[in-house]
């Protein structure tokens, strides 16, 4: 079982803002990383740490954290953002990396 919990599915209207959340005790101590995965493809890093967006990732993707919850916000969601999103971080002991169960984002 994962130490990071995500909502299984979220939907957003085209052009609107959506927040995808990730909950876990270890997030009080460690930052989350966020990955986008489309069918049949490897995951792609879209945000990490306090404020790190890899080159090539649109600035509509942003991350934040408060207490035991990390969030990925997509401001002005596009059709191409429809995908599965996974958070990851260290586990409570700090030794292993753990992933959330993933959130399937549907853009309506």
Partner 1 sequence: QVQLVQSGAEVKKPGASVKVSCKASGYTFTAHGISWVRQSPRQGLEWMGWISTYSGDTNYAQKFQGRVTMTTDTSTSTAYMELRSLRSDDTAVYYCARDLDGSGVFHYWGQGALVTVSS
Residue ranges in contact with partner 1 by CB under 8 A:
2, 33, 35, 42-45, 48-49, 54, 86, 88-90, 95-99, 101-102
Closest CA to 72 of 6, 30, 14, 19: 19
Q: Tell me how far apart the alpha carbons of residues 48 and 63 are, in angstroms, rounded to a whole number.
A: 7
- Under a CB-based contact definition with an 8 Å cutoff, are residues 107 and 78 in contact? yes
Please state the closest distance from residue 98 (CB atom) to partner 1, in A.
Answer: 7
Please state the closest distance from residue 100 (CB atom) to partner 1, in A.
Answer: 8
Give whichever of 39 and 79 is closer to partner 1, judged by the CB atom: 39
């Amino acid at each position: 079982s994962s130490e990071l919990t995500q909502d299984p599915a979220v939907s957003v209207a085209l052009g609107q803002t959506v927040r995808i959340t990730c909950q876990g005790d270890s997030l009080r101590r460690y930052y989350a990383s966020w990955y986008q995965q489309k069918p049949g493809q490897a995951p792609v890093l879209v945000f990490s740490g306090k404020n790190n967006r890899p080159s090539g990732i649109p600035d509509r993707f942003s991350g934040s954290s408060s207490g035991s919850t990390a969030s990925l916000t997509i401001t002005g969601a596009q059709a191409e953002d429809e995908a599965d999103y996974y958070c990851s971080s260290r586990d409570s002991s700090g030794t292993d990396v753990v992933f959330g169960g993933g959130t399937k984002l549907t853009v309506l």
